[in-house]
Structures are given as structure tokens and as C-alpha cells.
Homo-oligomer: A and B are copies of this chain.
Amino acid sequence: MSTKKFLLSENQMPTHWYNIVADMPNKPLPPLHPGTKQPISADMLQPLFADELIKQELSTEKYIEIPEEIQDKYKLYRPSPLIRASELEKALKTDCKIYFKYEGGNPSGSHKPNTAIPQAYYNSKQGIKKLTTETGAGQWGTALAFACAQFGMECEVYMVKGSYYQKPYRKIMMNTFGASVYPSPSERTQAGRNFLASNPESNGSLGMAISEAIEMAVQSDEIKYSLGSVLNHVLLHQTIIGQETKLQMEMAEDYPDVIVAPLGGGSCFAGLVFPFLEEKFTKNKSFRCVAAEPASCPKLTQGKFMYDFGDTEGYTPLLPMYTLGHNFEPASIHAGGLRYHGASVLCSQLLKDGLIDAYAINQNNCFKAGTLFAKTEGIIPAPESAHAIAQVLAEVERAREEGRSKTILFNLSGHGFVDMMAYSDYQEGKLQDVGLMRKVLKKALRK
């Protein structure tokens, strides 16, 4: 057997995050104030975020140093392994080489602590006592709950109602780390009460939960808000994934022809892909980058590039992004982490410029791919991550048709240990393949 796992030692862990803005051929358009339609300034973000995070949000510096305190916390679970999916390759009878970066071997079981830790750190350093946030499937909420515990902060999580009841273990995990968790929409906020008034049966959405978390944060100087994806500084923190992977691909003496990651808001995708794109920009390297999104929430493949709110109630600045409309309420699929109406500004600009590709995938295909992966590689993937695996299988097929042997790299963003009801539904044939009707889309974008 050739080498299966490529491991870095702690002192090989990257010491800087990579800021893709510095290298992008077309810089992202600025966020706008919804009233004045003028670009927002740093001080307008201050009620929500710690100063250092705002600085990173607006930064154009190529590398930003990771403070030692954050590096220390990263070492609780980083560097993460790069693994050759040799057993999957055998099962597929392919001569493609498949590698995955495994981000599930940590406290919350996903890539989310990579940004939760710095966000908690910078807020704590600024004297903030409490963070509020939203969570979809619960990975992000768990990560932030853990990070807050590490810095002795309080944590209040608004969890999309559909997931809250689908994934009770996630709530308990957050409670175990000391966080308070509420199903969203809730009666605790004006935004929540508005959503409930217009639809008492609402399953919730990430957009709604964001509105609730923001509303709670702005009520006190000791509370700030924390977002698990979409924003520049969040994507920035995740670039540690791809930077490690570059070193590990060198160890494997290989280089990817195709890089695949799931895309909800964009942080998992950005984490793996952006540091490789750096080599496309500066070293003329050639490879395809593919985002895998759910067919039920296909902002990249069917959304429109436009200025839209990041949340449902319209509390955030307007962001230039591919969106299904901030009022869009996706079907209650199991990949809760991908149920977001828009894609991050950075990913949206890259798609617009043709630098990345996107495909939409049906739920049943994801679980089929996830089950094959479990039986071969032994890791039961999170439903979000299974989107990437389904896309990898499609890429293997494509390589076969082209008569080529490719090196395929993907981000296994998390494990599915707390998503087993989803696998049960799949095994019992209860999962629906919820696609997006054009009509629904048009209506959402008109609002």
C-alpha cells in the first residue's frame, strides 16, 4: 500500500492566513448601506464585530499573521490530515487519484472552528462578554460554543428550526460546551416574531436566524455578533485548510487537476480552494475548481448576481453576490449548512469571472455517494460534505469519458455522526429530491 495519510507536524502549521483579495483580477464590489446605497465604512460594522475582524474584512493585504494564542488553540486539532482515498478509488475501478482533506477530526466535527477560534479570540481580547450567532445544521454553532468555552465567553445560538428538531444531538453538544440554543424563528426577537406572524409553521432559514442573532447583538456593547460563513474575514480564516493541503500535496508529490468542495455560504470552499487559486494567479497553474451546491438551494447555478441582504429581515449591508433572494426559504433538506440564499462576495466574484465552476446536486445522490464513501474509507460524511463526494464521483466519470487519469482533491468538511437520522431516512427511501422550481425562484427574486 502506498502512503495513505499525509501528516504535518505542529511546527509545519501555516502561521498566516491568505487573503485572496490581494490577488483577484477583479476586486469584489463594496458592500453598500441599504439606505444611502454608498459603500459602508468600518465604523458602520462596529456594533456587530470586533475591530480586528473589521480590519480583516476590509483588508487587501495578501497575508495576515495568525496570533500565537490562536495558533495554540488551532493545535488542539490542527494540522488536519490529507488522506488518499485509495479504497474509494479501488471501489470505483478508476485510475484517477483521489485525495481528501479531512476537517472532521475536531471538537465540532467540521471545519468551522478554524474561524470560530479567531472570532472568539479577537472579541474576547476586546472585552466582549458574549457572542450571538445563527446555525443551520449545527456545525457552526457547535464550533462557536466550543471557541467561547475556550475563552470564557457566553454564547447564544439561533438554530434553524428545521435542524433544531432534525438534529437534537447538535443542540446538546452546544449545551455541553456551555451555550444557550434557541430554535429560529423564535419569540425572543422582533425579527423572529415578524417571521412567525407571516408564517407560524416556518422551518426557519439561515437568513432568518442571522436576523435574530444580529438583533440580539446590537442591544449591548458587551455583545457582538459572529457569522460562520459568507464574510471575507471568515473565508480568510479558513484558508489555513488549503495552505496545509498545498504542503501535503507536495509531500504526496502530486498536484490537483480538479478541486471540489461543498458550498453553502462559501467558507469551506474558500478554505481549500483559495490558497490553490493563489498559484493560478501568480504561478499560472492550471486546474478546475468546482463548488457543489444542493439542488434545493442553487444560488450559484440558478441565482442572480446582484446586491442583496445577507439576512432575511434586511439588517445587514447589501452584498454583491449570487443570490436566490434574501426572502428565499429553502426546503428542509438534511444538509442544513448549505441552506443559505446567497454565496459569499468573494466566491460570487470568482464565479462571475469564470475562475470557478458550480454544480447542483440532488439529496439522494449525496447520500448514495456518502454511503459508498463510508463503506470504503470508513468515514460517514456529513450531508454537506457528501455533496462534494457526489461531485467527485461525477468528476471520475468525466475523466473516464475523457480517457484521462486525473488527480482529484476535495474537502471532507465534516463527519456525519450527528446526522444519522438523515442516513436512516435515505436507507428507508424517505428522502425527497427537492429541486428548485423556476417559478419559486422568480417569485423570490422579485420580492
Q: Which residues of A contact B (CB under 8 A)?
A: 1, 3-5, 7, 9-10, 68, 71-72, 75-77, 87, 105-107, 109, 113, 146, 149-150, 168-169, 172-173, 175-178, 371, 374-375, 377-380, 415, 417-418, 420-421, 423-424, 427
Q: How far is the CB of A272 from chain B (nearest CB, A)?
A: 20
- Whether the Cβ atoms of A176 and B374 lie closer than 8 Å is yes
Determine the distance from Cα of A150 to Cα of B375 in the docked complex, in whole angstroms: 7
* This chain: copies in complex: 2
10 tightest Cβ-Cβ pairs between the two chains A and B: A107-B378, A417-B417, A169-B420, A172-B420, A1-B72, A4-B75, A149-B375, A172-B424, A105-B105, A76-B378
A71: chain B residues within 8 A (beta carbon): 1
Q: Give, as a whole number of angstroms, the nearest-CB distance from A121 to chain B.
A: 14
List of B residues within 8 angstroms of A72 by Cβ: 1, 4
State A420–B173 Cα separation when bound (angstroms): 7
Interface contact B5-A176, CB-CB below 8 Å: no
Hey, which chain B residues are within 8 Å of A379, CB to CB? 107
Least Cβ–Cβ distance between A144 and chain B, in angstroms:
13
Pair B76/A377 contact, Cβ less than 8 Å: yes
**Nearest Cβ on chain B to A365's Cβ, whole angstroms:** 16
Shortest Cβ distance from A252 into chain B, in angstroms? 13
**Across-interface contacts of A371 in B (CB, < 8 A):** 176
- Tell me the minimal C-beta distance from A163 to chain B in angstroms: 14
Give me 14 other A-B pairs in contact (C-beta within 8 A), A146-B378, A173-B380 excluded. A3-B10, A4-B72, A5-B10, A76-B87, A107-B378, A150-B378, A169-B417, A173-B423, A175-B424, A176-B374, A176-B420, A176-B423, A176-B427, A178-B375
Residues of B within 8 A of A375 (CB): 146, 149-150, 176-178
Q: Which residues of B contact A178 (CB under 8 A)?
A: 375
Highest count of chain B CB atoms <10 Å: which of A178, A378, A379, A418: A378
With a cutoff of 8 Å between Cβ atoms, the chain B residues found around residue A175 in the complex are 423-424, 427
Interface centre among A7, A107, A173, A420 (most CB of B within 10 A): A420
Residue of B nearest to A380 (CB): B176
Closest chain-B Cβ to A314's Cβ sits at a distance in Å of 35
Nearest-CB distance from A179 to chain B (Å)? 11
Cα(A59)–Cα(B371), bound, Å: 38
Known: A109-B417, A178-B375, A418-B417. A423 touches B172 (CB 8 A): yes
Question: Which of A374, A418, A423 has the most C-beta atoms of chain B within 10 angstroms of its own C-beta?
Answer: A374
A83–B133 alpha-carbon span in the complex (Å): 31
Distance in angstroms between the alpha carbons of A423 and B107 in the assembled complex: 15
Is there an interface contact between A7 and B4, defined as CB atoms closer than 8 Å?
no
Q: Which residue of B lies closest to A105 (CB)?
A: B105
Partner of A1, one of B5, B75, B424: B75
- Given the known A-B contacts A5-B10, A10-B5, A379-B107, are A420 and B418 also in contact in the complex, defined by CB atoms under 8 Å? yes
Inter-chain contact B421/A172, CB cutoff 8 Å: yes
Contact of A169 among B75, B169, B173, B374 (CB under 8 A): B169
Chain B's closest residue to A148 (CB) is B375
- Please give, as numbers and ranges, the residues of chain B lying within 8 Å of A109 by CB-CB distance: 417
What's the least CB distance linking A143 to chain B, in Å?
A: 10
Closest to A84 in B: B75
Write the chain B residue with the least CB distance to A146.
Answer: B378
Report Cα–Cα, A424/B75, bound state, in Å: 28
**What are 15 A-B contacts defined by CB distance under 8 Å?**
A1-B68, A7-B9, A87-B150, A105-B105, A107-B380, A146-B375, A168-B420, A172-B421, A172-B427, A173-B380, A176-B371, A176-B374, A177-B374, A417-B417, A418-B418
> Once bound together, how far apart are the Cα atoms of A415 and B176, in whole Å?
13
- Nearest B residue to A5 via CB reads B10
Nearest B residue to A415 by beta-carbon distance? B417
The reply to whether A4 and B76 contact each other, CB–CB distance below 8 Å, is: yes
Checking B7, B150, B177, B415 against A7 with a beta-carbon cut-off of 8 angstroms, the contacting residue is B7
